Amino acid sequence: MNLRRKKIHPPLHDGEELLESTSGVFDTGRGAFSTWRPCSIYLTDQRLMLSQVRSVVKEFYLDKIANLETVLRPCIAGKKAPQLAIAMHGRENKRYYVAFRNPHIWLRRIAEMIGLDVDRSAAKKT
């Protein structure tokens, strides 16, 4: 019996290139009822995608990102963890939080890709 898992690839648009992938958790952002959900995280040359099983549950088009920063905030079981905080154009007051290993590296890479000026404090390792 073969117990190896088949590698799942995210759905890509024509000409879109997968650059990075990892696993982590995302905050569902439902206020007092907010929970953390496990996800696969994919960075392409066009989008940042959060996927569960075989469906994309949230996608951020890179050209629509207004701000990025890494923050240290409570995560699963209240333990503080470094997270990527994403703000989208038109919804600058709303932050989406994704926790995974080394978010500061992804922040710098995405900021370079979209020409976003991220100050040193936002991109430092938290």
State the pLDDT at residue 121. Answer: 45
State the pLDDT at residue 122. Answer: 53
State the pLDDT at residue 27. Answer: 94
State the pLDDT at residue 91. Answer: 85
Of 38, 22, 118, give the one whose Cα is nearest residue 75.
38
pTM of the prediction? 0.85
| Distance from C-alpha of 13 to C-alpha of 9, rounded to nearest angstrom | 12
More confident residue, 122 or 79: 79
Q: Assess whether pLDDT exceeds 60 at residue 40.
A: yes
The predicted-structure confidence for 50-99, as pLDDT tens digits, reads as follows 999 878 999 999 999 999 999 999 998 889 999 999 999 998 788 999 99
Residues contacting 117, CB < 8 A, separation 6+: 111
Q: Assess whether pLDDT exceeds 50 at residue 33.
A: yes
Averaged confidence pLDDT in the chain: 87
Does the domain at 18-123 match CATH 2.30.29.30? Answer given as yes
Question: Which residue bears the tokens 């699963």?
Answer: 76
More confident residue, 118 or 83: 83
- Domain borders along the chain are 18-123
